Amino acid sequence: MICVFASGGMSGYRGTVETMLLEELIPEVDRTWPTVAKAASRAVAGFSMGGAGATRLAVTHPGTFCAAGSWGGGARPGDTALFEAATANAKELKSGGVALLQVKGDRDRPEGNREFARHLDTLDIANELIILEDTPHNLGLYYERSSEQMMQFLGRRLRKAR
């Protein structure tokens, strides 16, 4: 497994940062390292803005990743752009076997994630939602309480690529 950690600053992985990730970083990693350069062998994950960005990248670019994991990010209530992208790309997301994991603390505004998980269910897009008890927006607590679940989820998705 090759892990690449990219900082999107405050971009939400949109605009020029999104372009750089998709058109420069991923191709550079595939040229430099012994990757299996296909969506079924590539996952994206992050915390907070990185988790929201990972979710959005996987949903809006379904031919790029097989899975996305979000800790403390994901969807905001009424995020119509994310919901519309999932709807527009549902067929490709399903046929590509893309799956999403949202991990959210119960004290970290999980309402939008619940709404998005229900939307994905109506579209028959593979997804899991984990709500962590007594958990605010804190990376250390997310890691402590759900890192094993996150790694198992991403590992299962990547193993299917073999």
Q: pTM, whole model, 2 decimals?
A: 0.94
Place 65 in a pLDDT band, splitting at 50, 70 and 90.
very high
DSSP-derived letter for residue 65 is -
Strand (E) or helix (H) holding 104: strand 99-105
User: For residue 85, is pLDDT > 80?
Assistant: yes
| Mean pLDDT taken over the chain | 93
- pLDDT score recorded for residue 13: 84
- pLDDT score recorded for residue 81: 93
Using one digit for the tens of pLDDT, what is the confidence trace for 8-55? 878 878 899 999 999 999 999 999 999 999 999 999 999 999 999 999
Sequence letter at residue 50: G
Cα gap 159→97, rounded to integer Å:
12
> With contact defined as beta carbons under 8 Å apart, do 103 and 150 qualify?
yes
Domains observed in the chain: 36-159 (3.40.50.1820)
Cα gap 38→55, rounded to integer Å:
18
Q: What is the CA radius of gyration of the chain?
A: 15
> With contact defined as beta carbons under 8 Å apart, do 9 and 16 qualify?
no
Residues facing residue 110 across a β-bridge: none
Kindly state the tokens that stand for 149: 């679940």
- pLDDT score recorded for residue 57: 96
Sequence letter at residue 78: G
3-state secondary structure of 100: strand
Mean pLDDT for 131-148 is 98
